[in-house]
Amino acid sequence: MAESRSSALTEVELFCDGACSGNPGPGGYGTILRCRGVEKELSGNAPETTNNRMELTAALEGLLHLTRPCRVTVTTDSQYLVKGMTEWLAGWQRNNWKNSKKEPVLNRDLWERLVQAAAPHQVTWQWVRGHAGHAENERCDALAREAIAQLRP
């Protein structure tokens, strides 16, 4: 019996979080990729950004590190990210990147890059409550805050 395409895909867990010191202000992101028991941590920063941009960047950077199509579960405490990818995106694209108020969608550049980075994969977007003891979410938050601290003299 031939395996279906979806069952042949490698399972990857992607945990991500963004943070900002002031909004806007210096920001950072933290991402954990887990595959077959191996973990890789990613982080980075931006001197002047927003919390939402860092949330999107955290997921984007994780997806960009995948080298072949995978089945990915993205776990984040950002409802903005989850709802954007699962509820709002189709309408934004249909309405030429305008939101329900007919205004330009904020962070369109990152949303478009995120759509492109997610395209080769089967992605499930999962929300968890932030700062509620979820081990990987807490670690991603720590990575993001460490990245912000690197911007300080």
Catalytic residues, by residue number, are: 17-18, 55, 77, 131, 141
CA distance 110 to 128: 22
Average pLDDT over residues 114-141: 97
Q: Say which CATH topology domain 5-149 has.
A: Nucleotidyltransferase; domain 5 (3.30.420)
Residue 60 · residue 66 · CB < 8 Å: no
CA distance 2 to 8: 10
Within its chain, how far is the Cα of 52 from the centroid?
10
CA distance 146 to 44: 9
Average pLDDT over residues 85-105: 96
Task: Retrieve residue 23's tokens.
Answer: 């909004």
Average pLDDT over residues 51-72: 98
For position 152, what pLDDT does the model report? 84
| 7 — pLDDT class (breaks 50, 70, 90) | low
For position 46, what pLDDT does the model report? 98
For position 25, what pLDDT does the model report? 97
Average pLDDT over residues 42-66: 98
pLDDT of 1 above 80: no
For position 132, what pLDDT does the model report? 93
Which amino acid appears at position 134 of this protein? Answer: H
109 is in an annotated binding site: no
For position 3, what pLDDT does the model report? 37
